[in-house]
Structure 1
Amino acid sequence: MTAPHLVPVRAARISGDDHADRGRARGQLLADGIRATVDGYARLFAELGIPEDVQLAASAASLDALRAWDPDQHREVAGVAQGAGLELVDLGRTLARTEILTRATVRPGECSTVVHRAPGATLSVQTWDWYAQFTGCWHAQRVEALDRELAHAGFAEYGMTGKIGLNAAGVGVHLNILRHRDDDAGGVPVHAVLARVLTHARSVEEAVEIVRSAPTSSSSVLTLVDPDRAVMAEIAAGRVSTLEQEGWGTHTNHFLAEDLQDGAMLLDPASDSLDRLAWLDAHVGGEAPTDADDLLPVMCSPLGRKGVALLPDPTLPERERTATLVTVRLDPARRQVALSPGVPQHAEDATVRYRLAPQTP
C-alpha cells in the first residue's frame, strides 16, 4: 500500500471547442484513470452491499437530473464517457458516487475545512479524506474556459469535470459530505454542482444561487469563498442553509445549521467529526494568516490516530481504510491554488500550484 503523500500527481490541462469536445478531450487524455476509477467505485459499492442494478439505476436517475438542470454539463460528461470508451451510465457511478452511497448503510471517509474571512484576503484549506484505495484516482487540473464561462483549477477524481478548486473570478469551493435522514439517490450529483460553481460563479452570492438552484438528493456542505467572503452552504436532500461569519470558520462532517438539525445524522456512529471540529476550533483564532500555506499548521493533528490529518491504517479491511488523500489551499484574491498529496505534514514534499489570470465579464 503506497502512502498517499508518495503518489505521483498527474496534472492535466483540459480545453475544447464546446462542451462535448472538451469532454471528449478529457476522456481521451485521462482514459486509463477514468476507467480505473469507475471500476473502483463499482467494486466499492458491491462491497458496501449496493447491487449493480441499484448502482446503475441511481446513476441513470442522477444523469437525467443533471441533463434537466444543466444540459451543457450533461453534454460534457457524455463527451467524457465517449472519449474514455465508456457507457455514460457507467461513468455516472463516479459522477454520482455521493448519491449512490446513500444506498449503503456504512458511509465514507470524512474531511475537514478551515477558512479565514477578511476583506480582500479570504483564505481556505481542506484535507480531503476518502477511501485509501482511491489514492491514485485523482488528478490536478486546469480547465480552460468556454464562451461565457470561467477557467478554473484545482483537483478532481478521474471522470469528474470539477471538484475542489478556484476559478478565474476568484471564487473557490470546498466539499464535505454530510448525512441526513432524508438522503436519497437520483438527484443532481453534488460534484456537478461544484463544477457549475467553478465554471459560472463570479461571486459567493452567485455561487450560493447555483447551489440553491440544484435539485440535489444527498447531503453535503459546500464552503464557498471569494476574496471578501466565505459562506458554508449546507445541503440536506435539496434544502439549503447558509452559515457566514467574520474571521475563522471551521467545518467537518456534521450539520451545524439549526434549521437542518431535524433528521441530521453523523456519517457513522463511530464518526470523529465532533472531535475534529473541536480540534480545529482549538487551533484557530491566532494571528490572521497572510498566505494560504499559513493555514497548514492548523490541519496538522497528531499522526497515528484518527484526526484532521489521517494516515491509512493497514490493519483495517480495505472498505474501512480511509486516509487524507489531498491537502488543498485556496487564495481567492491572488487566484492561487495549492495541492499536495497526502497529509498536510508532507505538504512541503510535493505541491502543485496554479495561478489563474483574473477573468472579468
Structure 2
Amino acid sequence: MTTNDMDPIKLTLRGSPRETHGQIGLQHGRALRDQIRSQIGIYDTMFQHTSKLSWPEVRAVAKEFQPSLQELVPDIYTEMQGVADGADLDILDIVALNCRSEIALGKFSDGCTTLSWKKSDETRILSQNWDWTATVKKNLAMVSIEQAGKPTIYMVAEAGIVGKIGFNSAGVGTCLNAIRAKPMISSKLPIHVALRLCLESISVNDAVQTLESLGGVASAQHILVADSTKALGLELSPVGNIYLAEDASGLIPHSNHFIENSYVDEPLWLLGSPIRLARIKYLAQELISHGVHGDTITPALLREKIFSDTYNAPQAICCQEDESRHISTRSSSLFNIVMDLNSKNPSAEVVFGRVGSGEEGPVLKMPWV
C-alpha cells in the first residue's frame, strides 16, 4: 500500500493460487481497516437518514444476501470473509457494504454521468464522473487485484467493497450509473459484485454471459461495459434487462435513469438526470462536429470539454453539493476516470475532485507501476 498527502491510497492485492481470494480479502481488510470502519460509520448515518434503519437492522437485511453470495459467487464471498477478518469485523458488515446499493432500495442521491466513445475499430474510450457524498472521499482507494488465471484488475473502489469502476489487463472496463427503481430481489447479485464479475471477464460478451448465467442482478442499475472492440450499456434489473449499443457516432452516453428498460417501476428521482444526458450528447456531438475523432479523443480533452461542465448546476455533469440536502446525502463529483481500452496496453487517467474547479488533484495513472 502506498500513499502521500496528495494522492489516494494505492493498494496492490494478490494471493497464491490455493488461497487467492482469502488472501486478497485479508490484505484488503488489514490495509484499509480504518477506512472500512469509517465507511460503516458513514453508511450507518446515511441509512438512518434515508431508510430509518440502524446498522444492526442493515446487517439483518444483509443476511438475506448471504446464502445467494455463498452459492453464486463462493470465491468472492470468501474474499469478503477475508476482508472482515482483516478488519476485525463481522462478515455481515462487509456484506452490507457490498449490498449498500440494494439495502435501501436506492434511496440515495448518487448521480453519475458516463460515456463510451469508439476511438477506432480496436479501441474504446470509457469515462465517467463518479458523484457521491464527499464524506467517503477519504475512504477511496486505487486498487489492483492480481489473480491466477484471470486478468489483473485496476479500479477505484470504496474501502471494503470488492468491485467498482475500472478496467483490467484484457482491456475490459466498467462504469456505473445508479438507478432508483423497484423491485429488489436479494437472491440475485448485488451490483458491486456484478461489477467485479465484469472486471474478471475477458470481453464484453464474456461479462454479459457471466451475469446472465448467474441469474442477473438484485437491483436496477446501469453498467457501461466496454472492451477494445465493443461497448454495451447494460440497463439491468432483477426482472429484465435491456442492452444499449453504440449509436451512429460510436457513442453510448448515460446518466441516472433508464433510457429503454421499461421492465421496472422507475419514477424520475434526479431531475437533473435527463438534462445531464442531453448535455453530454450535445457536448460530444460538438466535439465530433469540430473534427475530434481517433487519437484526438484524449483524457485531457474529455475532462476539459465534457466532464468539467457545470450546466444546470448543482445537478451538472460536474456535480456540486446541494446544500438543501442532508449532509449525508449531498453529492459532488469525487473523481473522474478516463480509460483507454485496447487489448495490448489498456490504461486510465484518474483525477480526484471536481475537474475544472481549480481544486482537483493531479492526474494519476493506472496502472501506476
Q: Give the TM-score normalised by the residue count of structure 2.
A: 0.87
Residue 288 (1) aligns with residue 296 (2): no
Q: 2:127 aligns with which of 125, 128, 131?
A: 125
- Residue 194 in structure 1 maps to residue 195 in structure 2: yes
Cα deviation, 1:82-140, whole Å, max 9, x if unaligned, reads 001100101222111001120x6x43221000111231121011011112222222111
Aligned equivalent of 1:66: 69
* Counterpart in the other structure of 2:92: 89
Identity %: 23
* Aligned amino acid, residue 356 of structure 2: Q
Match of 2:340 among 317, 328, 331: 331
CA separation of 1:213/1:41 partners in 2, compared to 1, >3 Å: closer, same or farther?
Answer: farther
| Cα deviation code 1:302-338 (max 9, x no counterpart) | 2753211012244542133111111111111131022
- Quote how far apart the aligned CAs of 1:190 are: 0.8
- Check conservation: 1:255, 1:264, Cα contact below 8 A: no
Separation of aligned partners in 1, 2:61 and 2:188: 9
Report whether the alignment pairs 1:207 with 2:207: yes
Change (3 A) 1:262 1:20: closer
Q: Secondary structure of the equivalent of 2:314?
A: coil
Equivalent residue pairs, number: 345
For residues 300 and 367 of structure 2, the distance between their equivalents in structure 1, rounded to whole angstroms, comes to 15
Deviations 1:48-105 (A, max 9, x none): 1332354112211223221111111111110011001100101222111001120x6x
2: CA distance, partners of 1:63 / 1:356: 34
Per chain length, whose mean CA-contact separation is higher, i.e. which structure has more relative contact order (CA < 8 Å, sep 6+)? Answer: 1
The aligned runs of 1:1-361 (5 Å cut-off) are 8-17=7-16, 18-52=20-54, 53-102=56-105, 106-117=107-118, 118-144=120-146, 146-185=147-186, 187-199=188-200, 201-215=201-215, 216-246=217-247, 247-257=250-260, 260-266=261-267, 268=269, 270-285=270-285, 286=288, 287-290=292-295, 291-296=298-303, 297-302=305-310, 305-314=314-323, 316-333=325-342, 334-345=345-356, 349-355=361-367
Greater displacement, 317-326 / 283-292: 283-292
TM-score using structure 1 length: 0.89
Tell whether the 8 Å contact from 1:178 to 1:266 is kept in structure 2 after alignment.
Answer: no
Query: What is the SS of the residue equivalent to 2:293?
Result: coil
Instruction: Please tell me the residue identity of whatever aligns with 1:95.
Output: N
Distance 1:267 1:25 in 2: 40
* RMSD, aligned CA: 2.2
5+ unaligned residues in a row in structure 1: which ranges?
A: 1-5
Aligned mates of 2:209, 2:52 — CA distance in 1: 33
Q: What amino acid does structure 1 have at the position aligned with 2:25?
A: G
Q: Which runs of 5+ in 2 are unaligned?
A: none
Match in the other structure for 1:3: none
Residues 214, 107 of structure 1: alpha-carbon distance in 2 compared, 3 angstrom cutoff: farther
Q: Would you say the 8 A contact 1:254–1:264 is kept in 2?
A: no
Distance 1:76 1:330, change over 3 A: same
